[in-house]
């Protein structure tokens, strides 16, 4: 830009100001070429040196020519942005068409750009935020914020020694490499409102659950080295409207046991818990992202414990940073706490879910897709009882509404037929039994003989007739007694026919010839074994569950099950696809012990030898390659397991 003579520039400005309205442009057109500047430079220089723009600002905003457009735009914006904030917005054109279909004829006539401009002027846009009110607790442990979020870059990869292996992924939540696991890595965090001190922990789950939230809070509020010195219960717990806030068991525990007041903020308003929400961005950007700078990040694997240890070290460094307002660190600000209120770890067992169920005469009821039986509860038939499910230990209790006593409930397992015992008599049955004993001893209360003879007739009975009837009664009693004592009870005909049918079906299935059938007669132990196993096949299956697996070449993992029928046959559709000969060869002996107990009509799970077997490999530590441990038990028959009992 050429250097300007300021004296000449001042003369031009004075001439421009004195010119009449409408002639100012002609003055500039004539004088500016002498200065060698443009009209825009003139206005800029004048504002810079003289402090004026040369343009009069509008004193009032222009009035809209079509004021009816505002009502139409409001109706269009109601269609574009659904009241439910989780619904994606429509385009302006789609919202105009929808408003026109619902009776707003003017909506289709307004240009799309005009609709957007008027909406911005009226503030009808989600980017226009309401005024937020910031608050802060007056002391440590007065208010805690809690929230959960899914990890941005960590994902579940595979199992290793019964533990999940976690790896980094740049796909952002996409667990395609672990499609059969379908678990995700979640992080729960808690912030003290006064000090800003933060604690957090990763967990593996399919979704955000109340159970994970309770486990995290138990860890966060306890005295743990990972987040030392932070501990103690707050007076108020602030959270969003997630599963934890909707858990009746957790709310009952906070109000009745822990004495913590719960506050839940408005839905779809993460700004309300911004003090904990902003921590996720810090974790993703400053913690998870830095692992990508490791040259071997694609191959690096973490266990859940290792990942939580790294996170604890990261948060310890962050908590030693300056407080947002005080001249202290966040940790030092929290240490100003007075009177930490700890909670006994055993108190968490009082967190439970409560539902109502009606019990049958055996004390059984359906609960959480399983049949349970109340242990020791007297006369349970028809009782409408409260059922409690412990959040921490999974224990099930039943409260009797008649006296308030609580009884434990276990998954229902039928009693074997040979071990059946009669239940306790009801009060009425006890009274009847006592009356029968007294009647036999002659101490029963006298009962007037019943007769339908009208009162006008005599109530007396002829002596001879009475004696005759008494003699008949005595003879009948004597006959009944001698008959029952001398004649043994024969087995029901139907039972014997069914037993013969069981053997015939077995012989037909395995192909016995007539001569071979005749070799198995009544009293033969083989016949008893065939009949007992045929009855047990409809009720039981044998389950061999992997309880320990390390470096297995066949890929067995903890929790894998091998299902057999009571005859010892593997049901391949209920077993892993590979059957290792070194492991399967150890199963015959416990299966034979189970068969022997079933043949004798005893509890099949009460054998004392070889409940657990291991494969022939002894593991790396002992010079082998790996090792697998199986636990073998008898369980109620699993659906899909064939039954060989006759119809």
Q: Is the pLDDT assigned to residue 415 strictly greater than 50?
A: yes
Q: Do 247 and 201 belong to one domain?
A: yes
Contact 419, 413 (CB under 8 A): no
Contact 603, 416 (CB under 8 A): yes
Q: Which residue has the higher pLDDT, 531 or 343?
A: 531
- pLDDT band at 473, cuts 50/70/90? very low
Q: Do 258 and 287 belong to one domain?
A: yes
Instruction: In whole angstroms, give the CA distance from residue 273 to residue 144.
Output: 10
Q: What number is the average pLDDT over the span 530-536?
A: 84
Q: What is the pLDDT of residues 325-339, one digit of tens each?
A: 888 999 999 998 877
Q: Which residue has the higher pLDDT, 379 or 358?
A: 358
Q: Which residue has the higher pLDDT, 107 or 429?
A: 107
- pLDDT band at 471, cuts 50/70/90? very low
Q: Given this model, what pLDDT does residue 319 score?
A: 92
Instruction: In whole angstroms, give the CA distance from residue 389 to residue 252.
Output: 13
| Listed ranges 453-457, 518-522, 557-561; the one with the highest mean pLDDT | 557-561
Residue 137 lies in a domain: no
Q: Is the pLDDT assigned to residue 488 strictly greater than 50?
A: no
Q: Given this model, what pLDDT does residue 499 score?
A: 67
| Residue ending a domain, choose from 343, 361, 394 | 343
Q: Do 207 and 309 belong to one domain?
A: yes
Q: What number is the average pLDDT over the span 149-172?
A: 81
Q: Given this model, what pLDDT does residue 486 score?
A: 41
Instruction: In whole angstroms, give the CA distance from residue 500 to residue 527.
Output: 10
Q: What number is the average pLDDT over the span 142-165?
A: 85
Q: Do 170 and 196 belong to one domain?
A: yes
Q: Given this model, what pLDDT does residue 316 score?
A: 92
Q: How many CB atoms within 10 Å of residue 163?
A: 12
Q: Given this model, what pLDDT does residue 181 score?
A: 46
Residue 503 lies in a domain: no
Q: Given this model, what pLDDT does residue 62 score?
A: 64
Q: Please, what is the end-to-end C-alpha distance for the chain in angstroms?
A: 108
Q: Given this model, what pLDDT does residue 191 score?
A: 93
Q: Given this model, what pLDDT does residue 472 score?
A: 37
Angle between helices 525-536 and 588-599 (to 10 degrees): 100
CA-wise closest residue to 189 among 358, 100, 315: 315
Q: What is the pLDDT of residues 601-628, one digit of tens each?
A: 888 888 878 889 989 888 888 888 899 9
Q: Given this model, what pLDDT does residue 176 score?
A: 43
Which domain, by its residues, includes 106? 69-122
Residue 509 lies in a domain: no
Contact 306, 165 (CB under 8 A): no
Q: Is the pLDDT assigned to residue 598 strictly greater than 90?
A: no
Q: Is the pLDDT assigned to residue 214 strictly greater than 50?
A: yes
Residue 420 lies in a domain: no
* Residue-averaged pLDDT of the chain: 80
Q: Which long-range contacts (CB under 8 A, 24 or more apart) does 6-9 make?
A: 6/49, 8/34, 8/35, 9/35, 9/45, 9/49
Tally of domains within the chain: 5
Q: What number is the average pLDDT over the span 220-247?
A: 89
Beta-bridge partners for 164: 159
Q: What number is the average pLDDT over the span 427-432?
A: 77
Instruction: In whole angstroms, give the CA distance from residue 263 to residue 244.
Output: 12
Residue 417 lies in a domain: no
Q: Given this model, what pLDDT does residue 421 score?
A: 64
Beta-bridge partners for 184: 205
Of 165-169, 342-346, 504-508, 568-572, minimum mean pLDDT range: 342-346
Q: Given this model, what pLDDT does residue 392 score?
A: 60
Q: What number is the average pLDDT over the span 235-260?
A: 86
Q: What number is the average pLDDT over the span 414-436?
A: 73
Q: Given this model, what pLDDT does residue 346 score?
A: 65
Q: Given this model, what pLDDT does residue 349 score?
A: 64
Q: Given this model, what pLDDT does residue 459 score?
A: 47
Residue 629 lies in a domain: yes
Q: Given this model, what pLDDT does residue 573 score?
A: 86
Q: Do 339 and 221 belong to one domain?
A: yes
Q: Is the pLDDT assigned to residue 521 strictly greater than 70?
A: yes
Q: What number is the average pLDDT over the span 632-636?
A: 91
Q: Given this model, what pLDDT does residue 308 score?
A: 92
Q: Is the pLDDT assigned to residue 152 strictly greater than 50?
A: yes
Residue 423 lies in a domain: no
- pLDDT band at 175, cuts 50/70/90? very low
- Phi/psi of residue 70, nearest 5 degrees: -65, -45
Instruction: In whole angstroms, give the CA distance from residue 215 to residue 250.
Output: 11
Residue 31 lies in a domain: yes
Q: Do 108 and 202 belong to one domain?
A: no
Q: Given this model, what pLDDT does residue 276 score?
A: 83
Burial of 290-300, coded b for 16+ CB within 10 Å and e otherwise, reads: ebeeeeeeeee
Q: Is the pLDDT assigned to residue 87 strictly greater than 60?
A: yes
| Residue ending a domain, choose from 314, 343, 372 | 343
Q: Do 200 and 336 belong to one domain?
A: yes
CATH number at residue 222: 3.30.420.10
Q: Given this model, what pLDDT does residue 236 score?
A: 92
Q: Do 80 and 167 belong to one domain?
A: no
Of 81-85, 435-439, 457-461, minimum mean pLDDT range: 457-461
Q: Do 229 and 333 belong to one domain?
A: yes
Q: Do 555 and 597 belong to one domain?
A: yes
Q: Do 326 and 178 belong to one domain?
A: yes
Q: What is the pLDDT of residues 279-313, one digit of tens each?
A: 888 898 889 988 888 888 888 888 888 999 999 99
Q: Do 17 and 36 belong to one domain?
A: yes
| Residue ending a domain, choose from 412, 433, 465 | 412
- pLDDT band at 144, cuts 50/70/90? very high
Q: Given this model, what pLDDT does residue 182 score?
A: 64
């Amino acid at each position: 830009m050429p250097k300007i003579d300021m004296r000449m520039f001042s003369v031009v400005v004075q001439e421009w100001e004195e010119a009449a309205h409408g002639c100012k442009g002609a003055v500039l057109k004539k004088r500016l070429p002498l200065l060698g500047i443009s009209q825009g430079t003139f206005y800029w220089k004048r504002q810079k040196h003289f402090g004026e723009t040369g343009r009069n600002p509008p004193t009032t905003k222009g009035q809209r020519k079509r004021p009816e457009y505002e009502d139409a735009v409001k109706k269009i914006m109601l269609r574009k942005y659904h009241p439910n904030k989780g619904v994606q917005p429509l385009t302006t054109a789609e919202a105009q068409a929808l408003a026109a279909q619902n009776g707003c004829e003017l909506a289709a006539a307004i240009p799309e750009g005009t609709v957007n401009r008027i909406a911005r002027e009226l503030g009808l846009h989600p980017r226009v935020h309401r005024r937020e009110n910031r608050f802060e607790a007056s002391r440590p442990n007065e208010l805690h914020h809690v929230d959960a979020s899914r990890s941005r870059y960590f994902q579940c990869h595979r199992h290793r020694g019964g533990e999940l292996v976690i790896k980094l992924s740049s796909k952002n939540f996409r667990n395609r490499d672990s499609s059969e696991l379908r678990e995700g890595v979640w992080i729960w965090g808690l912030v003290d409102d006064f000090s800003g001190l933060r604690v957090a922990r990763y967990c593996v789950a399919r979704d955000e659950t109340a159970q994970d939230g309770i486990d995290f809070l138990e860890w966060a509020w306890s005295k743990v080295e990972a987040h030392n010195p932070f501990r103690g219960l707050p007076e108020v717990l602030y959270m969003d409207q997630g599963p934890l806030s909707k858990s009746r068991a957790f709310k009952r525990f906070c109000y009745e046991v822990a004495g913590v007041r719960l506050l839940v903020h408005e839905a779809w308003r993460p700004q309300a818990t911004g003090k904990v929400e902003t921590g996720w961005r810090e974790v993703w950007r400053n913690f998870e992202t830095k692992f990508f700078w490791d040259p071997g990040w694609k191959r690096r694997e973490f266990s859940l414990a290792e990942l939580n240890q790294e996170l604890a070290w990261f948060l310890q460094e962050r908590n030693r940073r300056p407080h947002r307002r005080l001249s202290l660190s966040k940790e030092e600000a929290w240490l100003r706490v007075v009177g930490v209120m700890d909670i006994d770890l055993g108190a968490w067992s009082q967190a439970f879910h409560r539902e109502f169920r009606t019990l049958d005469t055996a004390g059984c009821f359906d609960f959480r897709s399983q049949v349970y039986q109340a242990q020791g509860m007297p006369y349970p038939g028809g009782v409408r009882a409260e059922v409690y499910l412990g959040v921490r230990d999974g224990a099930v209790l039943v409260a009797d509404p008649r006296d308030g006593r609580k009884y434990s409930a276990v998954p229902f397992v039928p009693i074997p037929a040979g071990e059946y015992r009669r239940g306790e008599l009801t009060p009425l049955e006890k009274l009847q039994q006592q009356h029968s004993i007294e009647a036999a001893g002659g101490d029963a209360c006298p009962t007037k003989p019943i007769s339908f003879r009208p009162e006008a007739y005599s109530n007396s009975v002829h002596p001879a007739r009475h004696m005759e009837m008494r003699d008949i009664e005595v003879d009948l009693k004597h006959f009944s007694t001698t008959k029952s004592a001398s004649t043994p009870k024969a087995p029901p005909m139907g039972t014997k026919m069914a037993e013969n049918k069981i053997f015939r079906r077995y012989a037909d299935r395995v192909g016995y010839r007539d001569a071979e059938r005749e070799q198995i007669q009544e009293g033969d132990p083989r016949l008893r074994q065939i009949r007992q196993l045929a009855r047990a096949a409809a009720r039981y299956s044998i389950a061999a569950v992997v309880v320990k697996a390390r470096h297995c070449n066949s890929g067995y993992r903890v929790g894998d099950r091998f299902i057999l029928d009571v005859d010892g046959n593997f049901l391949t559709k209920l077993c892993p696809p590979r059957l290792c000969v070194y492991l399967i060869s150890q199963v015959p002996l416990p299966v034979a012990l189970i068969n022997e107990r079933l043949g004798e009509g005893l509890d099949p799970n009460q054998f004392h030898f070889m409940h657990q077997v291991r494969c022939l490999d002894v593991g790396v530590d002992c010079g082998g390659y790996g090792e697998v441990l199986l636990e073998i038990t008898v369980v109620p028959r699993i659906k899909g397991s064939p039954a060989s009992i006759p119809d």
